[in-house]
Structure 1
Amino acid sequence: MITHHAEARLWLLSTPCTTSYAFQLDADDVPRHVHWGRPLSLEQAVAVAADLPAEDPGGDDPGGEEYVVEGGLRFGAPSLIVRFDDGVCGFEWRFVSHTVEENLLTLSFTDRVRSLGLDLNYRIRDGHDQIERWAVLTAGEPVDVLRFDSAAWTLPARDDYRVSHVVGEWGREFELRRDQVPVGETVFTSRLGITGQHAGPWLMLDAQDAAEGHGEVWSATLAWSGSRRITLRRDPYGRASWTGGFGHDGLVWKLDVGERLKTPVFTGLYAPDGALRPTWTVTLVAAVILGLGYGVYLAVDTALVTEVLPASADRGKDMALANLMTSLPFVLVPPIASVVLSSLGGYRSLFLCSAGMSVLGAVTVWKVKAVR
């Protein structure tokens, strides 16, 4: 559910189970983060916003912005960096309008001086607690885009924070790493151009007190399979935040008049009662069972394939063809899946396509009655 308090210039997104997310516009039209956590009513969110400090405790950085732009007293990592043809940089917020269509909220802004539009999008889904965010930039004059993140996420002040993320290599994918968040900036980036086992576009934060069944956890995943950067920041006053999106330092998108640039979705999830992860013992037992089962299946399946090949003289060629058919889906499926996800109905359609391919695969081997 999405609600709006016109007098406070505040919006509240409420997911079905565990989460409220609130932000507001200040007197200069700058969007400010208010709350991301346990459920609040609209009146409670307005009260929380009224208690927030008007400026940073140190007086040197306003902080707490919903989407960080370049310019003014801002010393954190910006989500948006633009440069116009005359060398002018920065973005000055001017609110235009907001729209709500079912579970999608869009706030439209423009620069106070230059012809540049920025839309911030928020979407919640029925039956889920995730919040999806992305941004759209529309050029009314030529502009270079040096950085354009999907979203920035802000957490409440805590005495300490711990970040969890995954790294790995072939055969050791998704190795969990957990580290204290230092004061300053920590960058999670990949310039490989694809999503691989080296570093996933996901991170999770807690106040060093979360476990399987207790403790607050905030996490986010970037829906992007190319080069990316997520910058995590912790200030001296206990606040943590991060901004992330596609691309990396050195890239420039050049927009001409009327052209638009849309970011990938950055999905955030708040869990009030633990990380909901399996215990280490269960993980080890599951790894043994899965490894044993898959090993037996692979050995039997390979032996069975050699017994049903049509001609013994062509087994080498046929096995090479079978290996190609096994590897080819890793090349073809990602672009096909991206089209299905973006234009043909999302994950429900993707799962239906997968089911259809499984049925088709079963049909193609129906004539194999037995081995020789």
Structure 2
Amino acid sequence: MDQGKTPRPGFFRCLQNVVGCAIVLGLFAVCSLQIAGAQSSPVHIRFDADSRVFRIDAANTTYVLGINENQQVQTLYWGRQLAEGDHFSAAKAMPEAASFDLSVNTTPQEFVGWGGGLYVEPDLKITFPNGNRDLVLKYLSHKIEGDQLSITMKDISLDVYVTLQYKADGETGILRRSAEIENRTDAPFTIEQVFAGTWNLPRGTDYRLRYLTGRWAGENTVQEQPVHPGKTVLESRRGTTGAQNNPWFAIDRIGNNDAEDGNVWFGALGWSGSWKITVEQDQLQQVRVSGGPNSFDFDYRLQKGEHFQTPYFYGGYSSDGIGGASRLLHRFEIDSLVPHAPHPALRPVLYNSWEATGFDVNEAGQLALAEKAASIGVERFVMDDGWFGQRKDDRAGLGDWYVNPQKFPHGLKPLIDKVHSLGMDFGLWVEPEMVNPDSDLYRKHPDWVLNFPDRPRTEGRHQLVLNLARPDVRAYVFQFLDKLLNENDIAFFKWDYNRNWSEPGWPAVASEDEKKVYVDFTRNYYSILEELREKHPKVEIESCSGGGSRVDLGVLRYVDEFWTSDNTDAFDRLLIQNGFTYAYSPGVMMAWVTDSPTWVNNRTLSLPYRFLSSMQGSLGIGANLNKWTTEDFATAKQMIAQYKAIRETVQRGSLYRLITPEHDSEQSVTESVARDGHQAVVFAFLHSSMEGYPYPRLYLRGLDAHARYRITAMDGKPANGTPAEASGAYWMEHGLDVQLRGDFQAAAFTLERQ
């Protein structure tokens, strides 16, 4: 993924060896090629040579684009799958609305350069050496190969080529878009803004935008607002994804409050650096959504013969409401994105030592915790911060990745061997992209951090950010991680990242290339992950960034799970996890059971409540087991066993939000249904009873109406009179009554198909 140069295999892999579709004019009006083995693939991409219209059909979605009389690539349709016999007339550029709004602005284009009178958000803006900044792209050619379409465009006079790339997923209908910019001119030019492309929605004035906002310990808050004339910008300028906005959006119709019905257009940007998504309703009510690397403080000089490959921008459509949109994304992520897809391993039950020991780790203490963790059924033991260098607190040691000889005089092997003997695998916390000024690495290489010469170096958490864009820094980070894996039987890295960028300078390169740091840092981050996984295919990795500050579809191609939030208060997590699952699968959402009361709110919650909250995702234990009672261990052992019986359904099944915790709801209810339908799991939570009202009746979803299901309580009780077994129709139409009264109560049930 070497942007601006020949890309490495991986995230920024260009479409190569693409076989063209031969259009035989006069003999065939339509050229249609399907993916090899068409009987097993539902993706169809066709090109009508007469109308010059492309049609992409995948799952329940149809996407149509065409080449209009101005040689612009124009969106014609995106929505529910159309009939096979439905055809589109040739694309027609929209007329100008006035001398102030030329046709280039009113026509819904797939990808447009800044030039020719454009005023809406451009997908590409370039400055040329002579000062020219005008770029007008026209259709040149196209290729179709199975489930992939590429369309090449060129400037009207300059040798600037842009290839639009589309790949359709046959199971979900999700379309992956990207663009490759190529410089065939005789001189370098500077890219000042570049997006993967633009999604155009049908013209309308009644759209609602959903997106996710947050902060440290308060991630994934679902926001809703009408799409107004003008522009809404979702972005991060922090060097990485950030918790303040997440690069995901969903758009439906105002007034549609049924989570399981209605048209929803949704998308997510696969990029872990600074990013931007703009949602723009123009003066003629056309809605456009564009996304890519953030243009703030950014430019990228492209030399003659070089290519720039954008990140992927994923988009999908659901007619089953926001719930259906989430389930499509979940399925796509698990089956197509995560490492080892479409058959990734289930997430093991994990124990992490941080809350028990903090920085004060040593061999004896970790051995004792490992024995306690194994006794309750934990499958992975993870030692957190404090094991390396001169690490006694957060002020020193980052960058010095050798095992501390005072804490572990015999290295990590005795601990790892003990963990293995207890039936668990071993994981380790690392923070590879950071350095403390109080470290041997910084004293040796102070030039390795992001910095502006002769300016202060702002510290966050007493640390600075290594400039991973530098080849020597990239090599150092890979080498020490590779060494750890070569010398120790490590199954898992918790890869942390605990501050955002400041002073993003790169004084080792020419001044006109310094702003490449935003892209080259991220591409080197991906390449390290990719190379580690190629060399150590069994290692698993968690993306962690002070909680959920690096969660996106870009890094999900290289990691197995996300740390959702440092806030592990089980009640707060209902809201945080709810927002997370709008965009990301519960199968990649880590959720820990920690001590009560938590540091966040000083709120006391029962151990069963804390377990049930965490069992809605990938279960981990982070509590200080040294303080647990005999009863705590017994409860934990029972609930972990219960989780193992349902985790495939929770991690891989279809999620229904029966009651969301949004808008200060007193209740929160989720239901997960196994892919084969044999099991459903219901989690119900109550904040506080009010005036003696009973808990709302729960109307289940996703069951086979004609099958019989037997209900079993994992924790809590169904209401008196609830049948032990009933039809799917009964549970969905009559519903389930639950006995929940009091404050901070929870219950969970399984339904097994008979």
TM-score (norm 1): 0.77
Q: Distance in 2 between matches of 1:32 and 1:225?
A: 29
Matched, 1:331 2:433: no
Matched, 1:126 2:170: yes
Aligned twin of 1:228: 275
Give 1:177 shift.
0.6
Q: Which secondary structure state, in structure 1, belongs to the residue aligned with residue 321 of structure 2?
A: coil
**Structure whose CA Rg is larger:** 2
Contact 2:115/2:134 (8 A) holds in 1: yes
Matched, 1:144 2:190: yes
Matched, 1:250 2:414: no
Give 1:118 shift.
0.6
Letter of the structure 2 residue corresponding to residue 92 of structure 1: V
Matched, 1:212 2:314: no
Contact 2:241/2:275 (8 A) holds in 1: no
Letter of the structure 1 residue corresponding to residue 248 of structure 2: W
Q: Mean alpha-carbon deviation: is it higher for 93-102 or for 149-158? A: 93-102
Q: Which secondary structure state, in structure 2, belongs to the residue aligned with residue 97 of structure 1?
A: strand
Contact 2:196/2:311 (8 A) holds in 1: yes
Contact 1:162/1:206 (8 A) holds in 2: yes
In the comparison of the two structures, how many residue pairs are matched? 328
CA-to-partner distance for each residue in 1:199-248, whole Å, 9 max, x for gaps? 10111111213331111111110000010111110124332111110132
Seq. identity, %: 24
| CA spacing shift, 1:342–1:255, aligned 2, 3 Å | farther
Aligned twin of 2:247: 201
Letter of the structure 2 residue corresponding to residue 110 of structure 1: K
| CA spacing shift, 1:53–1:144, aligned 2, 3 Å | closer
Aligned twin of 2:70: 28
Cα RMSD, aligned residues only:
3.8
Matched, 1:161 2:161: no
Aligned twin of 2:313: 266
Q: Which runs of 5+ in 2 are unaligned?
A: 1-43, 326-349, 370-381, 386-426, 431-492, 498-524, 538-553, 562-586, 589-754
CA-to-partner distance for each residue in 1:156-207, whole Å, 9 max, x for gaps? 0123211110011232211101111121111111111112322101111112
Contact 2:167/2:176 (8 A) holds in 1: yes
Q: Mean alpha-carbon deviation: is it higher for 327-336 or for 105-114? A: 327-336
Q: Distance in 1 between matches of 2:69 and 2:304?
A: 30
Contact 2:384/2:429 (8 A) holds in 1: yes
- Give the one of 148, 156, 167 matched to 1:104: 148
CA-to-partner distance for each residue in 1:229-281, whole Å, 9 max, x for gaps? 11110124332111110132231110111000000000001111211179xxx
Aligned twin of 2:223: 177
Letter of the structure 2 residue corresponding to residue 225 of structure 1: S
Q: Distance in 1 between matches of 2:366 and 2:123?
A: 61
| CA spacing shift, 1:83–1:41, aligned 2, 3 Å | farther
Q: Which secondary structure state, in structure 2, belongs to the residue aligned with residue 172 of structure 1?
A: coil
Q: Which secondary structure state, in structure 2, belongs to the residue aligned with residue 69 of structure 1?
A: coil
Letter of the structure 2 residue corresponding to residue 6 of structure 1: A
Q: Distance in 2 between matches of 1:166 and 1:337?
A: 28
Higher fraction of strand: 1
Give 1:100 shift.
1.1
Q: Distance in 1 between matches of 2:363 and 2:116?
A: 73
Q: Mean alpha-carbon deviation: is it higher for 27-36 or for 237-246? A: 237-246
| CA spacing shift, 1:88–1:342, aligned 2, 3 Å | farther
Give 1:134 shift.
0.0
Matched, 1:63 2:107: yes
| CA spacing shift, 1:203–1:341, aligned 2, 3 Å | farther
Q: Which secondary structure state, in structure 1, belongs to the residue aligned with residue 323 of structure 2?
A: coil
- The structure showing larger relative contact order (alpha-carbon pairs under 8 Å, at least 6 residues apart) is 1
Q: Distance in 1 between matches of 2:134 and 2:112?
A: 11
Q: Which runs of 5+ in 1 are unaligned?
A: 279-296, 356-372
Aligned twin of 1:360: none
Letter of the structure 2 residue corresponding to residue 23 of structure 1: L
Q: Distance in 2 between matches of 1:108 and 1:45?
A: 24
Matched, 1:54 2:94: yes
Q: Mean alpha-carbon deviation: is it higher for 119-128 or for 339-348? A: 339-348
CA-to-partner distance for each residue in 1:133-163, whole Å, 9 max, x for gaps? 0000010122111111001010001232111
CA-to-partner distance for each residue in 1:2-29, whole Å, 9 max, x for gaps? 011111111011112x211111111221
Letter of the structure 2 residue corresponding to residue 254 of structure 1: R
Letter of the structure 1 residue corresponding to residue 300 of structure 2: W
- Give the one of 37, 40, 46 matched to 1:3: 46
Give the 5 Å matches for 1:338-349. Answer: 338-339=529-530
Q: Which secondary structure state, in structure 1, belongs to the residue aligned with residue 429 of structure 2?
A: helix
| CA spacing shift, 1:303–1:169, aligned 2, 3 Å | closer
Contact 1:206/1:215 (8 A) holds in 2: yes
| CA spacing shift, 1:111–1:322, aligned 2, 3 Å | same
Q: Distance in 1 between matches of 2:66 and 2:532?
A: 31
Contact 1:146/1:252 (8 A) holds in 2: yes
Q: Distance in 2 between matches of 1:313 and 1:258?
A: 54
Aligned twin of 1:282: none
Letter of the structure 2 residue corresponding to residue 185 of structure 1: K
Aligned twin of 2:126: 82
Letter of the structure 2 residue corresponding to residue 32 of structure 1: Q
TM-score (norm 2): 0.40
Q: Which secondary structure state, in structure 1, belongs to the residue aligned with residue 495 of structure 2?
A: helix
Letter of the structure 2 residue corresponding to residue 9 of structure 1: R
Q: Distance in 2 between matches of 1:323 and 1:348?
A: 24
| CA spacing shift, 1:224–1:322, aligned 2, 3 Å | same
Aligned twin of 1:365: none
CA-to-partner distance for each residue in 1:88-132, whole Å, 9 max, x for gaps? 122222332211112110011221211111100000123121000
Aligned twin of 1:189: 235
Q: Distance in 2 between matches of 1:236 and 1:341?
A: 49
Give 1:36 shift.
0.5
Aligned twin of 1:289: none
Q: Distance in 2 between matches of 1:312 and 1:95?
A: 66
Matched, 1:322 2:513: no
Q: Which secondary structure state, in structure 2, belongs to the residue aligned with residue 206 of structure 1?
A: strand
CA-to-partner distance for each residue in 1:286-315, whole Å, 9 max, x for gaps? xxxxxxxxxxx97999779xxxx8647999
Aligned twin of 1:237: 284
Contact 1:195/1:225 (8 A) holds in 2: yes
| CA spacing shift, 1:45–1:220, aligned 2, 3 Å | farther
Q: Which secondary structure state, in structure 2, belongs to the residue aligned with residue 105 of structure 1?
A: strand
Give 1:330 shift.
3.7
Q: Distance in 2 between matches of 1:341 and 1:37?
A: 39
Q: Which secondary structure state, in structure 2, belongs to the residue aligned with residue 88 of structure 1?
A: coil
Contact 1:213/1:274 (8 A) holds in 2: yes
| CA spacing shift, 1:228–1:6, aligned 2, 3 Å | same
